[in-house]
Structure 1
Amino acid sequence: MKKVSVLFLVAAMLLSLVACSGGTSSSGDSSGDASTGSSNGGDTVRIGVTMPLTGSQSAIGNRQLAGIQLAVDMQNEKGGIASLGGAQVELVVADTQSDTNIAVTEAERLITSEGICALMGTYSSAAAAASAPIAEKYGIPYMITNATADEILQNGYEYTFRANVCNGLDAIDMVAYIQELNDTFDADIHNIAIVYENSDWGYGMSVGISNEIAENYADQFSVVMNEGYEPDIADFSAIVNQIRSSDVDLIIPMNYLNDALLFVQTLADYQVDIPVLAHSGGYTVPEFLQNAGSNANYLLTFSSWDPSVLQFKSEEAVEINEKYKAEYSDGVDMDTYAANGWLGGVVMLNAIERAASTDPEAIKDAILATDLGPDSYECTLHPFEGIKFGETCGMTNQNIYAKSIILQVIDGQFELIGPSSMVPLEESEIVFPIPSWSER
């Protein structure tokens, strides 16, 4: 099987050989233009990828890399980059070890020493924000995969892009969805508690939601609690007790996996009968359902993607997921992070094809010119109206058509309940109001 884990094993075995230089192993040899990264072998297009393959974020990082690798393998199986005479695409992979500082040094090493023409990565918003200035410094097109913080693209960068969803657009859609719950179910939600990991993603999302409410829903909602915490918190009891004493109607948490598991466990321990509308993060990975058990039931969450979307997509989308399951994941469906990796990969490959060049400036210009419709190959998996990079929410080079889906955990499985453009709320399988713990 073409499993990406083989690459990771080789990378781990070679790690000690490059430790003296501060780098991690990568696929391929170290060749190319050390100053611009623009030189590629005549038969190979080299794209750098920085991703957390070890450390606390490794489970998600490995799946996201698998999604990128799937996009590249499918391109190569179709004959490579046609405009470059069928040149094959090679990923040059560096492990960030879930460390932002390493993400920066590895991005620079790939650009200056590995002859890459473009860069992709690197899952977390903190790592992407720190790496983007390196891409800008060297003039290398950088396709962010996943990292959703608005601040990354609020610096007027020329070479940094994001095809997937972002905090700002999600904040707008989340508050609108709360209003929709009130309108459809007479939910009487007014007081909101936000609990966020104090990271670029968590803090940025809390600001986005608070600002959207203040600017457009001040007469309907109030943020009565906006509590940040340091990652890998040992105990949520104090925060949960604050929620219980704050007359809260809805909880919006932003947590990575370990914290998400502990948060829902604490809510269960204290029998907190308040609906939860999470923002992706640790709530949308398979490990959350596997480890949270019944504590996850009835939780609502925004997500970039989920296999439940496939029922509304083409047979080609189903086949992409089946290929992923068979060759990259030991039979496990794609998740939001693998799908975002694939998305970033195919958008980058589309630009290189149109650029007909491995020159970074030409690739950057091609990405800027991207204007794809909902029926394009690049939108095969995602329920987007299209892919076009422009200005929104104070950002530049953000896909203006990116949109999240809404899921609910029912009987231990994610069920698609929105957006209304796909599943009208009144026709969805949503369980609402949420049953109290004594009724479950």
Structure 2
Amino acid sequence: MTYTLNRRGLLKASGAAALVSGLAMPSILRAQGQTVKIGVLEPLTGNLAYNGTQCAAGAKFAADAINAAGGIKSMGGAQIELVVVDAQSRPEIAASAVDTLAEAGVVAFTGASASALGLASSQAAAKYDLAQVFSIGTAETIVERGLPNVFRFTPGVNKCTSVALENLKQLNAAAGNPVKTAAIVHEDGPFGSNMAKIMAEQLPQQGIEVVETISHPTPHRDFNNIALRVKASGANMLIPSNYLNEYTLMARALRQQRAELMAIYSILGGAASNIKFVRENNDVAQYVMDCNHWYDPSKPESQALAASVAQAGLDLTYDVMVSYATIQVIADALERGASTDRKAIIQTLAASTFDGSIMPYGPTKFVNGDNVNSQPVNTQIRGEEIELVFPEQYATAEPVFPIPREG
């Protein structure tokens, strides 16, 4: 399914599911005057539908803000139209959906909530000289293929893991190094497998022994056996890396099996930085820490986005944040290049020094398609809130490590 949005198509309904139904309205909304089309390729259905609809919402909020501020000024105030296509949580559909975007006349696109989807879509987009600015795509293979149309604005698994390890080292040392052993649970796709490999190599250098490593497919419905294996391992700490549904089921199973852990320290955890998980599983969510994507909450535009998300009745998740930011990056390239030529946009993106996004990054610098000035942050669930705890200059709360024991 393909949907076209402009800023007149304001979202009136609440919730991510309502966004999908709103997009699915049969009428095509068109902006007045000159327009420029940007694609949004996300999984609006299937097991990644929540993440995909959140990303689609983030893209819409960004387009609304840019259009309200005068559009692409170097192109006579051209208004952004979003062409939104459903990847259906399936790589082969993500690849074929690129044909739809190209035929619709998009000049670039963002997507696609998961590395497997983005790997497929960016490969398909190369034949059209169509730039893909990744909303989420942490697998290093994304930027290792040498495709000139690939731009990963957010950090990959290597950077996320290295930052997470350094922050963990500081946390553990400050607490007297109570954590000696760890279990790793990860999805068996490119990003989870790569993360587990890096952790297995580097944790022992911090004096932390990896006593169990467990992979699982996505989707996966029963985590009881995995929870029992984690419990039996005697691990002080669990390091999970998986998507929202699997993370939620895993956390519940750990509670049911009474697995005693000093810490749950996630790296790119699908639920650990997700307010939906906090709201619906508050008892099992407390003190869970994550190293993941997050915006700079001190920026006025971040605060405006948070207000817009709340007004729309949506969840403020990193999916919304990073998709908002990737539309900003594409719009900046259009502003600087003053062209809708696809090859010209690729060249302009490759030379980007954009420093106006909502993310806590330095100026954009793409090296082989990878933004080397991106950085993840550490969050922690406290009560009903997700607090930013690392790095200190962005922190909204002090980290608590290890998990306090009741009584």
TM-score (norm 2): 0.89
Structure 2: which amino acid aligns with 1:353? Answer: E
1:134 aligns with 2:106: no
Distance 1:229 1:362, change over 3 A: same
Match 2:347 to one of 365, 383, 401: 365
Deviations 1:14-40 (A, max 9, x none): 5xxxxxxxxxx98669xxxxxxxxxxx
SS in 1 for 2:45: coil
Q: Deviations over 1:176-234 (max 9, x none)?
A: 12211222111332322110111223223223333444xxx536233222210122323
Find out whether 1:252 has 2:231 as its counterpart: no
Among residues 257, 261, 265, which one is paired with 1:277 in the alignment? 265
Q: 1:239 and 2:251 equivalent?
A: no
Instruction: Return the offset for 1:417.
Output: 1.6
Change (3 A) 1:4 1:350: farther
State whether residues 4 and 69 of structure 1, in contact with CA within 8 Å, keep that contact through their aligned partners in structure 2.
Answer: no
What is the Cα deviation at residue 11 of structure 1?
4.5
Q: How does 1:164-183 map to 2 (within 5 A)?
A: 164-183=154-173
Letter in 1 for 2:239: I
Residues 346-403 of structure 1: CA deviation (Å, up to 9, x unaligned) = 001001111110001111111111113xxx422xx2222332112xxxxx21111111
Per-residue deviation, 1:270: 2.0
Q: Secondary structure at the match of 1:179?
A: helix
Give the superposition deviation at 1:66.
1.1
Unpaired stretches in structure 2, ≥5 consecutive residues: 1-8
Range moving further from structure 2, 3-12 or 130-139: 3-12
Q: Provide the residue aligned with 2:304 in structure 1.
A: 319
Give the structure 2 partner of residue 61 of structure 1: 52
Percent identity among equivalent residues? Answer: 28
1:99 to 90, 98, 116: 90
Give the Cα separation in 1 of the matches to 2:182 and 2:141: 24
SS in 1 for 2:365: strand
Q: Could you state the TM-score of these two structures normalised by the residue count of structure 1?
A: 0.83
CA contact 2:186–2:214 (8 Å) conserved in 1: yes
| Aligned residues of 1:300 and 1:406 also touching (Cα < 8 A) | yes
2:50 maps to 1:81:
no
- Partner of 1:371, secondary structure, is coil
C-alpha distance 42-3 of structure 1, shift in aligned 2 (>3 A): closer
- The aligned counterpart of 1:8 is 20
Partner of 1:388: 365
Tell me the distance in 2 between the aligned counterparts of 1:271 and 1:187. 23
CA distance in 2, matches of 1:277, 1:42: 50
Deviation by residue 1:291-339 (Cα, 9 ceiling, x = unmatched)? 2121111211122116xx52xx13343123223333xx32x45321100
Relative to structure 1, is the Cα distance of residues 78 and 11 closer, same or farther in structure 2, using a 3 angstrom cutoff? closer
Whether the 8 Å CA contact 2:160–2:292 is kept in 1: the answer is no
Alpha carbons of structure 1 residues 165 and 145: separation in structure 2 relative to 1, 3 Å? same
Inter-CA distance 4–339: structure 2 relative to 1 (3 Å threshold):
farther
Equivalent residue in structure 2 for 1:409, among 381, 388, 397: 381
Q: Is the 8 A contact 2:19 2:53 kept in 1?
A: no
1:421 Cα shift?
A: 4.5
Deviation at 1:79, TM superposition (A): 1.7
8 Å contact from structure 1 (residues 100, 126) kept in 2: yes
Task: Tell me how far apart the structure 2 counterparts of residues 27 and 110 of structure 1 sit (CA, whole Å).
Answer: 16
SS of aligned partner of 1:46 = strand
Q: Amino acid of the residue matched to residue 435 of structure 1?
A: P
| 1:167 shift after superposition | 0.7
Q: What is the rounded CA distance, in whole Å, between the counterparts of 1:302 and 1:76 in structure 2?
A: 33
Q: What residue in structure 1 maps to residue 3 of structure 2?
A: none
What letter corresponds to residue 68 of structure 1 in structure 2? Answer: A
Which has the higher mean CA deviation after the structures are superposed, 348-357 or 256-265?
256-265
In the alignment, does 2:280 pair up with 1:291?
yes
Give the alignment of 1:133-152 within 5 angstroms.
133-152=123-142
The one-letter code matched in structure 1 to 2:398 is: E
Q: Distance in 1 between matches of 2:60 and 2:206?
A: 48
Local SS of the residue matching 1:225:
strand
**Cα distance in 2 for residues equivalent to 1:26 and 1:104:** 24
Alpha-carbon separation, structure 2, partners of 1:363 and 1:64: 22
Bigger mean CA deviation after superposition, 42-51 or 56-65: 42-51
What's the secondary structure of 1:408's corresponding residue?
strand
In structure 1, what residue type is equivalent to 2:177? A
Checking the alignment, whether the CA contact within 8 Å between 1:4 and 1:66 is kept in structure 2 is no
Query: Which amino acid in 2 is paired with 1:417?
Result: V
Give 5+ residue unaligned stretches, structure 1. 15-24, 30-40, 391-395
